[in-house]
Amino acid sequence: MKKTTTREAYAKINLGLDVTGVREDGYHLLRMIMQQIDLHDTLHFTVTEKAADADQGCVAEPGQDTAGEGCAAEPGQDAEGKSRIALYDESGLSPAGEENLICRAVRVMMEHFGLSADVEVRLTKRIPVAAGLAGGSTDAAAAFLAVRDLLLPQVPDEELMKLAVRLGADIPYCIAGGTKLAEGIGERLTPLPPMPSCAIVLVKPQAGASTAQVYRALDALGEYHHPDIDGQIKALRHNDLQGLLSRCENVLELVTGGSLPVIGRIEDFFIKEGALAAMMSGSGPSVFAVFQSLQEAEKARGAFLRTEDAAECQVFVCRPVG
């Protein structure tokens, strides 16, 4: 039996990001406020249920060239008669094969719950990659949710989140969504009141940043100032946008901002254009600038597009997702 569903996978920004320590296994301990925004990818899922004992594999359609499609056949595996996961990404931006987080999320669901089905995913990619916006994680979250909705509607989000952390610390948050305090390696989530109404200009410079290298460089700094995350939580509870934004700080910008001066230039530009705050998201290099109104954000976006820095940037106007 064939079933279909479509899910929107929302990008995230970090309204505050602090690193509080390092675990024995090398993972960094974080304390951050995560916020979804309405910039999103769209994923259309088609699931065809098969016999419970069918073999599983992430393979291509017979005769299909998988280059750039995000999914490749396993060596020596015949697609005919086998369960398969086929991912189609017209942008060609998604990693190919089994390492794609969408394929891996579906695989985890199949193996954990003993499912047997063909899964086809058609991805419309809008979130920039390697941008500090959880683009891969949010697509994986959509895959967990879609397979659950189509085949296992009784499974709660909490169980999906426990499975998802195996693949990435941001994925449980992307399943939960909204405004959350994230702690531990990012998997311990506490619901917060929604971000007050505002508009956001999001800028993704062409230059990239290696997350692993950013954390290593931060460790080398030793002591550094820590953001007032508790103050931000208090401001959210009082629906105080100014109080929230006046405390926006991301310790990873100490590293990425130093190596990529364009980040600071973008922030300074939007502050001069009237932004209430401008800050890097995640490990970068994306910068978001927050305005009181959509009209102000659109005006600032238009002004930025006339600058020299804009030539190598992707620029969006977004809203928070509650």
Residue 12 designated active-site: yes
Largest CA distance in the chain: 62
d(CA 294, CA 317): 8
Where do the DSSP E strands lie in the chain? 2-22, 28-49, 85-89, 117-124, 179-184, 188-191, 199-205, 249-250, 277-280, 287-291, 313-318
Q: Report angle CA 120, 124, 127 to the nearest 5 degrees.
A: 130
Catalytically annotated residue among 50, 170, 180, 204? 170
d(CA 173, CA 231): 21
Q: For 149, phi and psi rounded to 5 degrees? A: -60, -35
Residue 272 designated active-site: no
Q: Tell me whether residue 86 is exposed, middle or buried, using C-beta atoms within 10 angstroms of its C-beta: 0 to 12, 13 to 18, 19 or more.
A: buried
Catalytically annotated residue among 12, 50, 180, 204? 12
- CA distance to 14, 58, 269, 272, per residue, from 1 (Å): 41, 20, 54, 57
What does the block give as tokens for 230? 């508790």
- Catalytic residue numbers, as ranges: 12, 170
